[in-house]
Amino acid sequence: MCFTPDLTSTQAEHNALLEHLSAMKADTFTTTKVCFGLPANRQTLLPSAKEAPNSRTAKDSSRVIATTALALGLYVLCGTALLADGQAGKSVAAPPPASAPEQRIQKLPWRGSLGGGIQLESGRTNGRGIMISGELAKKLTEEHLLEFDGQLNHSTFKAAGGPRTVVAHNMLFGGQWSRPLNKRFFIADRFILTRDRVLGINDREFNASGIGVNLISSPRGNFYIVPAFGLGAQTTSVERINGLAMGFAAHEKFEYKLSEHWGISQWANLRTNKEHTSDRSAKVHFELTAPALHKRVFLSFSGDYTYEGILSPQALLNGATRNDIVFSVKLNYRIGN
């Protein structure tokens, strides 16, 4: 026999019902179960009539606590899952990229060589002496290149027609700035300072600018030429060519690495005078580099050819000629890598 009490009934009514059922005959309700109808088709068995009221109350309290704990656990679990889904659905903004460390401007070193040795001169002076020469280059930036080259010669020889000893002292200094326009062409400006005591050239400066072209550019060698036009000034023993004058100029340079230890290099300078066509000069330099003797120290063998279009009366008196050849053996020190 089943009763379906109202859920709004009090606990006292439930207890009265249980006492009424206990008073009935045991054989009539041997197999009878008392139940309460619950909403949502859920049913909970009533305690046995033999159970004491205090025992039933304790069990009911335990069930309420367990049910509450389970509900709270499910609530926390579901809430955590929903929160995780919500966070996953949101687009998380990427953190701002770390600021790149400040790049220091790399100091590009000087490169080149400086050396000195003995020389033998034939043609203009037929003398013996010493030579000091060097080449330096430095990249101011990745595009701007600065180059310097120079020679200092000092020798003595016997003047023509007499025992008089003549001191031959000459100097050549050149500097060039260049900047590439593309892989083949570049813009350049070159300055040359020349002094030659035998030829009567006290001071000659010439500055020219032009567009250069790279004819060969490879890991083993380079070859370029710079035709230019510029302005020069000179003070010599020949009065008519002194002063300012426009003119054409050219500079070319060739370097090639024959092997790991041997290399060759060559450069040339050409200058003309627009007002006096016979006033022209040229200098060509060849050099063979030998294997290093010790780290940065190496030997080199060089030859220089010099041509001068106009000779001063003093140069002719000394027996000088327009052509001059100098051979030298130098001990050099390499600068940079």
| Mean predicted confidence (pLDDT) in 64-89 | 55
- Pair 251, 268: CB distance under 8 Å: yes
CATH topology of domain 111-335: Porin (2.40.160)
pLDDT confidence band for 224 (50 / 70 / 90) = very high
Per the listing, tokens 């627009």 go with 274
Q: What share of the chain in percent tops pLDDT 90?
A: 45
pLDDT confidence band for 121 (50 / 70 / 90) = confident
Burial of 108 (0-12, 13-18, 19+ CB in 10 A): middle
CA atoms within 13 A on the CB side of 303: 7
Mean pLDDT of the residues in the chain: 77
Is the whole model's pTM more than 0.75, yes or no? no
* pLDDT (0 to 100) of residue 72: 58
Q: How far is the C-alpha of 140 from the C-alpha of 177, rounded, in Å?
A: 10
Per the listing, tokens 């230890």 go with 261
Residue range(s) occupied by CATH 2.40.160.40 in the chain = 111-335
* pLDDT (0 to 100) of residue 271: 94
Q: How far is the C-alpha of 302 from the C-alpha of 329, rounded, in Å?
A: 7
Q: What share of the chain in percent tops pLDDT 70?
A: 64
Given a cut of 80, is residue 49 above it in pLDDT? no
pLDDT confidence band for 104 (50 / 70 / 90) = very low
Q: How far is the C-alpha of 35 from the C-alpha of 58, rounded, in Å?
A: 19
* pLDDT (0 to 100) of residue 101: 46
Q: How far is CA 225 from CA 277, 292, 302, in A?
A: 22, 29, 21
| Mean predicted confidence (pLDDT) in 200-204 | 89
Given a cut of 50, is residue 28 above it in pLDDT? no
Given a cut of 60, is residue 256 above it in pLDDT? yes
Q: How far is the C-alpha of 153 from the C-alpha of 326, rounded, in Å?
A: 10
pLDDT confidence band for 3 (50 / 70 / 90) = very low
Q: How far is the C-alpha of 254 from the C-alpha of 165, rounded, in Å?
A: 37
pLDDT confidence band for 65 (50 / 70 / 90) = low
Q: How far is the C-alpha of 288 from the C-alpha of 290, rounded, in Å?
A: 7
Q: Which of 46-50, 137-141, 292-296 has the lowest mean pLDDT?
A: 46-50
| Mean predicted confidence (pLDDT) in 33-46 | 41
Q: Which of 106-120, 201-215, 242-256 has the lowest mean pLDDT?
A: 106-120
Cα–chain center distance at 23: 103
Strand partners, 236: 201
CA atoms within 13 A on the CB side of 143: 8
Per the listing, tokens 């030998």 go with 290
Phi, psi of 239 (to 5 degrees): -65, -35
The string of DSSP letters for 223-267 reads: EEEEEEEEEEEEEES-GGG-EEEEEEEEEEEEEEE-SSS-EEEEE
- Pair 26, 48: CB distance under 8 Å: no
* pLDDT (0 to 100) of residue 12: 59
Residue 137, H or E segment: strand 128-139
Residue 205, H or E segment: strand 201-217
